[in-house]
Amino acid sequence: NIHEITHLTQVKGTQDYGGYGYNFVQSLSAAQNLNHADTYALYANAIYAGC
């Protein structure tokens, strides 16, 4: 899935920061979100859903 793929250093090399989901992502700073695997997964899901 996208979350796991973004962990690959060849893609982005993201981190997890100890949490998942929309509410957790909102609690992160902008800098953390740019390096958080679930942020990318949530973004891709929103695009797929037409948001």
Residues with a known catalytic role = 4
Per the CB < 8 A criterion, the answer to whether 38 and 1 are in contact is: no
Spatial contact of 36 and 6, defined as CB atoms under 8 Å apart: no
Q: How far apart are CA 36 and CA 9, in angstroms?
A: 13
